[in-house]
């Protein structure tokens, strides 16, 4: 599953866009560099019952932003994305 597919599935399950999760994380101080991934993973499990892969995709965008490594773009691997930039503003607003 691509990183973008993880984010889209999270939106389907929770009704929240990745950008909304980033805002919530920021309000909690989870975007601070000193905050460990485990803290964010626990929050997403407790409050949203997301699986580990989905939680890790959100940790990535919370801590590192929408850029994914180019080695994941256009490959046949399990995390292949069409672009090295993730869309964070919701499926309904994605450019065609």
Share in percent of the chain as helix, strand, coil (round to 5): 55, 5, 40
Neighbouring CB atoms inside 10 A of 16's CB total 15
Question: What pLDDT score does 74 carry?
Answer: 59
14 lies in some domain: yes
Quick check: is 33 in a domain? yes
Segment 28-69, tens digit of pLDDT: 999 999 999 999 999 999 999 999 999 999 999 999 999 876
DSSP, collapsed to helix, strand or coil, labels residue 85 as strand
pLDDT band at 73 (very low <50, low <70, confident <90, very high): low
DSSP states along 30-60: TTSTTS-HHHHHHHHHHHH---HHHHHHHHH
Residue 88 lies in a domain: no
pLDDT given at position 3: 83
Residue ranges making up the domain that contains 56: 1-67
- Is the residue at 72 inside a domain? no
Report the number of distinct structural domains present in the chain: 1
Pick from 16-20, 46-50, 62-66, 73-77: least confident? 73-77
Kind plus residue range of the DSSP H or E element containing 22? helix 18-28
The overall average pLDDT reported for the chain is: 89
């Amino acid at each position: 599953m691509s990183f973008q597919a993880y984010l889209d599935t999270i939106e389907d399950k929770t009704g929240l866009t990745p950008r909304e999760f980033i805002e919530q994380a920021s309000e909690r101080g989870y975007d601070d560099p000193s905050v460990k991934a485990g803290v964010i993973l626990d929050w997403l499990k407790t409050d949203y019952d997301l699986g580990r892969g989905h939680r890790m995709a959100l940790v990535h965008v919370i801590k590192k932003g929408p850029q994914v490594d180019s080695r994941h773009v256009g490959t046949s691997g399990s995390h292949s994305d069409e672009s090295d930039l993730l869309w964070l503003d919701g499926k309904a607003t994605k450019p065609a």
